[in-house]
Amino acid sequence: MKLKPITLAAVLLISLSACKSIKPVVELAPEYEQPTVAVPETFAFDLPATEAASIQAASLGWRDYFADPRLHALIELALKNNTNLRTAALNVEQVRAQYAITRTSQEMPNISGTAGATRSGALAHTGTNRFNIGLSTGYELDLWGRVKNSSEAALESYFATAAAKDATHLTLISQVAKAHLNELYAQAAMDLAKRTLSSYEETYRLAKIRHQAGVISAVDLRAQEAQIESAKSTYAGAVRAREQARNALALLINQPIPKNLPKAKSLSQQFKINNLPAGLSSQVLLNRPDIRAAEHQLRQANANIGVARAAFYPKISLTGTLGLISPQLGNLFQTNKGSWSAGANLSVPIFDWGTNKANLEAVKIEQQKKVVAYEAAVQSAFKDVADALVARAALAAQFESVSAQRKAYNERLRLIHLRYKHGVASSLDLLDAERSSYNSDNAVLNTQLNLLENLVDVYKALGGGLKRYTTDAQDSVGVRAAMANTPSSQQEVYVPANVKAE
């Protein structure tokens, strides 16, 4: 009966693949324990609990948070073209490919084709030929979990890189939003400076008439001229700020700003939600991509300890070959002379000059560093949220105060204008009133920009707009199985809340 190489190779492969189901004898990786970080359960200056329960930042996409259609278009361009985000996405794909390499090369038997030709014999005799062709395979018995932990470390590296991409995604959105707000602020400052300049020039025209009539002195006239030049200088500074904001936007979207963008809304109409609640501190732990990245890096370090510990134990590999042998090349595939072999190799570390011990110590120290990094990420995240919330409360109160101040100064300017026209108020009174009114208008504009930028900071600090694609990213077995059968373009672990739109 002739050998059937393909059938026998399949039998050998299935036999070795069955070994994959053998669980490690011992688990050498330390059991993961989430580090305990002293953080408050709730945040000061947050909204009342009843309001906080109405909305969650993590489920709020940027389209639902920002109201300006021009900003929407800019964010879309940035998410498509930005070089930093594209690099982060490529990093994810690279680590995903590395994980696939680790998984397939270590968890699955390797099969390779072999072929050879030899001629051998004694010196006094004619030599003989030997031709062979076949398949060979090998598989490591993962008794100590080295393969399992290597794969786990690669998977956690993938998760950490995906979380880092989420952080880049969220940072990019906040950068585009702030650049957009600064452009609108600069344009508003230009408009204010232009209106003020027109008012100053009208006052100066009347002052010249009064100076020619001998009512006011040249000193008062020169003061009016200085105020006009100050307004011109402010206008020039606002133009510079606007162009710099546009340059920042062009860099973020990686192209010149299109001319057909929707018309921008006013500064007061930029947000659909002005009071985004923080909620419980545990929600921040889940939603912040930098915290997720730190946690996955810690899990990776745990798995690496298991790999380092397994190096102290024997390594057992199963091997097998299957093929055909013939003394004539032309009859190789017609011969009945099949060959096969099966065996096992054992490698035991005896003396390695302390390499394994030093390597284990190194990965343990690395794991301790990841614990510290995780604690630092949590504390930094909670500081970001706390700072953003207290700034929101303070800026809201400050905006209310400067708005009331502007109203008072504008009314004062109106009254002094009337008194000046009737000769009751002096030119110095008018100059002081104009200066105070303009400064109060600028204060309102500056505070409004700070308040709007703070709303962006709150959204970013709470990890808004990003949510889990899987129900539990820590379930490496389920995710690994899903990744094995999913095209790479669909293997995002964390995606924006508005997947279809964005």
Residues 6+ apart with CB under 8 A from 160: 292, 293, 294, 296, 297, 300
pLDDT confidence tier of residue 464, bands split at 50, 70 and 90: confident
Residues 6+ apart with CB under 8 A from 327: 128, 129, 130, 131
In the predicted model, is pLDDT for residue 386 greater than 70?
Answer: yes
Question: CA 183 to CA 197: how far, in whole Å?
Answer: 21
pLDDT of residue 411: 94
pLDDT confidence tier of residue 316, bands split at 50, 70 and 90: confident
Question: CA 82 to CA 484: how far, in whole Å?
Answer: 29
* Percentage of the residues of the chain whose pLDDT score is greater than 70: 82
Q: Are 41 and 283 in contact (CB under 8 A)?
A: no
Name residue 121's amino acid.
G
Q: Are 467 and 497 in contact (CB under 8 A)?
A: yes
Joined together, the tokens standing for residue 326 give: 């013939």
pLDDT of residue 201: 86
Name the CA dihedral angle for 96, 98, 101, 102, rounded to a multiple of 10 degrees: -100
Q: What is the mean pLDDT of residues 211-215?
A: 79
Most confident range, picked from 93-97, 188-192, 465-469? 188-192
Joined together, the tokens standing for residue 409 give: 């100064």
255-264 CB burial, b ≥16 within 10 A, e <16: eeeeeeeeeb
Q: What is the mean pLDDT of residues 248-272?
A: 94
Question: Which has more pLDDT, 139 or 204?
Answer: 204
In 3D space, the residue among 326, 313, 308, 418 whose CA is nearest the CA of residue 30 turns out to be: 308
Name residue 56's amino acid.
Q
In the predicted model, is pLDDT for residue 258 greater than 80?
Answer: yes
pLDDT of residue 348: 81
pLDDT digit string, tens, across residues 5-21:
545 555 555 555 555 55
pLDDT digit string, tens, across residues 422-437:
878 887 888 888 889 9
Q: Average pLDDT, whole number, for the chain? A: 81
Q: Are 135 and 324 in contact (CB under 8 A)?
A: no
pLDDT of residue 106: 67
In the predicted model, is pLDDT for residue 279 greater than 90?
Answer: no
Helix (H) or strand (E) holding 462: none
What domains can be seen in the chain, in order of their start residue? 44-109+145-314+366-496 (1.20.1600.10)
pLDDT of residue 44: 85
- Cα Rg of the chain, angstroms: 36
Question: CA 289 to CA 160: how far, in whole Å?
Answer: 9
Question: CA 19 to CA 27: how far, in whole Å?
Answer: 17
pLDDT digit string, tens, across residues 50-104:
655 567 777 788 999 999 999 999 999 999 999 999 999 888 988 888 888 777 6
